């Protein structure tokens, strides 16, 4: 579909969701790549204040997903990076209904527009490891071929399944377009602000009694790297993107110097619902399911095809801890001091006992 396009470098790249953290960072990064001719960021909303500074050099167009079609044709777009996904409902932005509208309907319209864009040759779609759902009969490690056994309870998980379904349809109808689906593990890092980083920043962290989920994180900078490579290189297919290795939830909480408070699972679901209606947090069934079942993916395919290994889950989490260190409840130094104190006391008592005849 792109006759005469001798170079494999992308010309006009459209990034959706630039008002959000990931979209803004990706757009800002692609702009600095001299191999890319032009980067256009599109979104419905004005960028949030914390990312507005990044978008200085990025051409921005405010457009709703329904009218993207004309835009793609007019601008001769050859690459679309679709990142406009909301991972948790935001009460200020219309809650779950708006989230579904953006995730499912937004992606549907975006793909419809892409299908009719004649010069399009690459599509990169953000997905999530939530695509594997959560079930007690799941294997311990998901490869890209694993099918979800149960439809997830959480809204985001269901949205992801729908989105990937639409991408499958798009692949069938436009086999000439290189479609890359990136299933990201939850982001973490020194600056990323996500549902999960806020969770680990709580001084007292609610967990589920009798469950210790295996978690994987992806360093935010590695996520940027993978999206960047997906744009400049050709990697058709679906990829798990996560930091190798695993942290148990209890272990992560201890490393972060927080205190875990185990709660009964129905209680936690209720508390999450309550907190959401009171606008306290954005925790939902997606998060509860993650904490019950955990989620670990195999990243062999990514490492082989991209020649890139994200930093390990433990290293990514360490970076997060360093940035949030000031708010630890229990520090390593305190533990070491306590250990020494107890040891000294025991030795003193034993010595005293021994000296008595």
Partner 1 sequence: MRRDEMRPDNGQVARQQPDPARHNGRRPTAAADRPVLPAEPHPPAVPDRPGDVWDQRIAGGLAFLRRRLAGDYEVDEFGFDPELTEAVFHPLLRRLYRDWFRTEVTGLENVPTDGAGLVVGNHSGTVALDALILSTALHHEHPARRYLRLLGADLVFRMPVVSEIARKTGGTMACNPDAERLLRGGELVGVFPEGFKGIGKLYAERYKLQRFGRGGFVSAALRTGTPIIPVAIVGGEEIYPMLADIKPLARLLKLPYFPVTPTFPWLGPLGMVPLPSKWLIEFCPPIPTAHLVDSADDPLVVFNLADQVRETIQQTLHELLERRPDPFGP
**The binder of partner 1 chosen from 75, 141, 273, 329 (CB under 8 A):** 141
Shortest Cβ distance from residue 261 to partner 1 (Å)?
15
**The binder of partner 1 chosen from 225, 255, 305, 329 (CB under 8 A):** 255
Q: Nearest CA to 68 among 41, 39, 38, 100? A: 41
Choice between 69 and 245, CB closer to partner 1: 245
Choice between 61 and 342, CB closer to partner 1: 342
Choice between 170 and 320, CB closer to partner 1: 320
CA 46/CA 169 separation, integer angstroms: 31
Under the binding rule (CB under 8 A), the answer on residue 343 touching partner 1 is yes
Stretch that binds partner 1, among 71-79, 85-93, 226-234, 336-344 (CB under 8 A): 336-344
**The binder of partner 1 chosen from 52, 61, 151, 335 (CB under 8 A):** 335
**The binder of partner 1 chosen from 140, 176, 307, 326 (CB under 8 A):** 140
**The binder of partner 1 chosen from 88, 179, 218, 253 (CB under 8 A):** 253
Under the binding rule (CB under 8 A), the answer on residue 254 touching partner 1 is yes
Under the binding rule (CB under 8 A), the answer on residue 261 touching partner 1 is no
- State the pairing for strand pair 178-184/187-188: unpaired
Shortest Cβ distance from residue 140 to partner 1 (Å)?
5
Q: Nearest CA to 189 among 204, 181, 178, 200? A: 200
DSSP 19-42: TSHHHHHHHHHHHT-TT-SEEEEE
**The binder of partner 1 chosen from 108, 214, 271, 281 (CB under 8 A):** 214
- State the pairing for strand pair 122-128/79-82: parallel
Under the binding rule (CB under 8 A), the answer on residue 296 touching partner 1 is yes
DSSP code of residue 142: B
Under the binding rule (CB under 8 A), the answer on residue 139 touching partner 1 is yes
CA 91/CA 278 separation, integer angstroms: 9
Stretch that binds partner 1, among 163-171, 176-184, 206-214, 220-228 (CB under 8 A): 206-214
Return the residues of window 29-68 that contact partner 1 according to CB under 8 A. Answer: none
CA 29/CA 81 separation, integer angstroms: 13
Under the binding rule (CB under 8 A), the answer on residue 316 touching partner 1 is no
Under the binding rule (CB under 8 A), the answer on residue 280 touching partner 1 is no
Choice between 122 and 219, CB closer to partner 1: 219
CA 170/CA 179 separation, integer angstroms: 9
**The binder of partner 1 chosen from 252, 272, 290, 291 (CB under 8 A):** 252
Choice between 152 and 257, CB closer to partner 1: 257
Q: CB–CB of 125/167 below 8 Å?
A: yes
CA 302/CA 307 separation, integer angstroms: 7
Stretch that binds partner 1, among 13-21, 24-32, 66-74, 132-140 (CB under 8 A): 132-140
Q: CB–CB of 42/85 below 8 Å?
A: no
CA 15/CA 51 separation, integer angstroms: 15
Q: Coil, helix or strand for 26?
A: helix
Q: Nearest CA to 156 among 188, 129, 123? A: 129
Under the binding rule (CB under 8 A), the answer on residue 330 touching partner 1 is yes
Q: How many residues are there in the chain?
A: 357
């Amino acid at each position: 579909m792109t006759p005469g396009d001798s170079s494999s470098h992308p010309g006009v790249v459209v990034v959706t969701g630039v008002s959000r953290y990931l979209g803004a960072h990706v757009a800002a990064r692609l702009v600095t790549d001299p191999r890319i001719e032009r980067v256009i960021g599109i979104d419905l909303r004005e960028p949030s204040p914390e990312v507005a500074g990044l978008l200085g050099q990025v051409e921005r167009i405010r457009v709703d997903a329904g009218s993207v079609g004309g835009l793609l044709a007019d601008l001769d777009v050859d690459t679309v990076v679709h990142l406009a996904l909301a991972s948790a409902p935001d009460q200020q932005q219309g809650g779950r209904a708006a989230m579904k509208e953006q995730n499912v309907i937004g992606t549907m319209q975006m793909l419809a527009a892409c299908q009719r864009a004649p010069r399009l040759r690459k599509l990169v779609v953000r997905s999530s490891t939530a695509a594997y759902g959560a079930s007690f009969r799941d294997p311990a490690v998901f490869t890209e071929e694993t099918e979800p056994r149960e439809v997830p309870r959480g809204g985001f998980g269901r949205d992801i399944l729908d989105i990937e379904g639409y991408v499958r349809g798009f692949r069938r109808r436009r086999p000439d377009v290189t479609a890359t689906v990136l299933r990201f593990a939850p982001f973490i890092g020194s600056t990323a602000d996500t549902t999960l980083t806020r969770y680990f920043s709580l001084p007292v962290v609610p967990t589920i009694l009798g469950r210790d989920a295996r978690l994987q994180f992806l360093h935010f900078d590695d996520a940027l790297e993978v999206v960047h490579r997906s744009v400049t290189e050709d990697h058709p297919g679906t990829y798990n993107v996560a930091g190798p290795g695993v942290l148990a939830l209890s272990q992560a909480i201890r490393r972060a110097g927080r205190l875990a408070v185990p709660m009964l699972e129905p209680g936690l679901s209720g508390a999450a619902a309550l907190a959401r209606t009171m606008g306290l947090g954005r925790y939902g069934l997606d998060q509860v399911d993650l904490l019950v079942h955990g989620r670990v993916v195999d990243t062999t395919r990514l490492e082989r095809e991209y020649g890139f290994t994200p930093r390990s889950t433990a290293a990514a989490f360490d970076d997060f801890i360093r940035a949030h260190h000031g708010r630890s409840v229990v520090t390593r130094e305190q533990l070491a001091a306590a250990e020494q104190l107890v040891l000294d006391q025991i030795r003193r008592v034993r010595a005293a006992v021994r000296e008595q005849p």
